[in-house]
Amino acid sequence: MATRKIVEIGDEKLRKHAKKVEKFDLRLRILLKDMADTMYKADGVGLAAPQVGILKRAVVVDVGEGLIELVNPEIVSAEGEQSGPEGCLSVPGRSGIVVRPERVTVRAQNAHGEPIEVTGEGFLARAFCHEIDHLDGIVFTDHATRMLEPNENGARNLPRRRGGGRRSGDGWGGGRRVKVVFMGTPDFSVPTLQALVDAGYEVAGVFTQPDRPKGRGGKVQMSPVKELALRLGIPVFQPLKIRADGLEPLRALAPDVCVTAAFGQILSQEVLDVPRLGTVNVHASLLPRHRGAAPVQWALLSGDAVTGVTTMFTDRGIDTGDMLLRAETPILPDDTAGTLTDRLAKMGAELLIETLRRLEAGDCPREKQDEALATYDPKVDKEMGRLDFTQTTRECVNRVRAMSPWHLGHFTWMPVVKAL
């Protein structure tokens, strides 16, 4: 279960109009699931996205008849009248008498963007009206004809949540928020860190490579991951070698799990032993093919038609750990290392969240890599920018694609032909 903080009255987000949902993707489904988890944990019967700080038109409701997810909801008809006590998770400890329709019909979309229509009567109608009000910056106190005193009969709060607890799995879940330490450095890593925050995980700290000089001027620059972490207010650690000067700070953070994505350092067994649930890595290839630090470039150099991302448990080897989930994408004719990296970074972020969710639920597959199919590719260096025109046209084109963009530029190599 992943729960989010419920914002309370006084927070300006509760008074803003939520935006229409345009993308029906994994991020939306995660939001809806987290909202439901948050609602159940707080013993509520409904929750709107603005109540967890997300200004999107989405609500969840469960008055004891099953969970209802509504995206972009609107009330299209209302009949009758009911008056009764009403409360709100964002207004703790207070309730009031509110007049609502006895019966309402709501048109909306489900988590996949499909149109739905649902009719509610009595308490369900009240819940629909209450939650949809939140999407327009309206709180029940705006409608209350009278606020109730604490000793008066307050609002009905919750029919009991359905089911038992969670599956215990291998230590994931258990009803508490998972604490994550993230390790990453380049642009590829940024979407994964952002996804962890958006999904409601507690990111206790970020480890990234030290600031280094870049460009012709040699100006010292921070990594893209550090830039994002600072904007998000997450503590940043930049050990030269994590196994030496980063071990104690990592232990102090006491993470449940570490997540890595192109961190740029090999993790020692001492580091791997710190998180109680292990370390999950996002790798930009379909393992066991293209292990190593430059899987995107080597997929292009090799003329692969398909590539993808793999989530895996990290072990002492280089990309040799047990695989968890994989996602594929075709390599397009005009793809370069730049365009392909951007696409795989977004795919990897979504796959990582799905992986963590399934690990928490106890239904994530785990598969050992087939060493017979494994390939290991070296790092990209300056010499790889050379074009050898004794190679085929396709090989030369693939090399240009694999090295683009490339801050060192391309080099041309021509064979020397001696005169007879």
Cis peptide before 378, with omega less than 30 degrees from 0?
no
Specify whether 143 is catalytic.
no
Specify whether 17 is catalytic.
no
* Annotated catalytic residue, options 89, 193, 356, 364: 89
Specify whether 51 is catalytic.
yes
* Annotated catalytic residue, options 14, 31, 44, 46: 46
Specify whether 46 is catalytic.
yes
Q: How far apart are CA 384 and CA 367, in angstroms?
A: 34
Specify whether 391 is catalytic.
no
* Annotated catalytic residue, options 69, 86, 109, 134: 134
Specify whether 89 is catalytic.
yes
* Annotated catalytic residue, options 87, 130, 250, 297: 130
Specify whether 86 is catalytic.
no
Q: Write down the H helix ranges in 269-336.
A: 269-272, 295-301
Mention every residue, 6+ apart, whose C-beta is less than 8 A from residue 340.
Answer: 296, 299, 300, 307, 331
Residue 334 carries which DSSP code?
A: T
Write the burial class of residue 188 (CB in 10 Å: 0-12 exposed, 13-18 middle, 19+ buried).
buried
Decide the pairing of beta strands 386-388 and 411-413. Answer: parallel
Helix (H) or strand (E) holding 310: strand 306-313
* Annotated catalytic residue, options 28, 31, 32, 51: 51
* Annotated catalytic residue, options 69, 131, 354, 360: 131
Cβ(141)–Cβ(91) under 8 Å?
yes
Cβ(301)–Cβ(335) under 8 Å?
no
| Residues acting as catalytic residues | 46, 51, 88-89, 130-131, 134
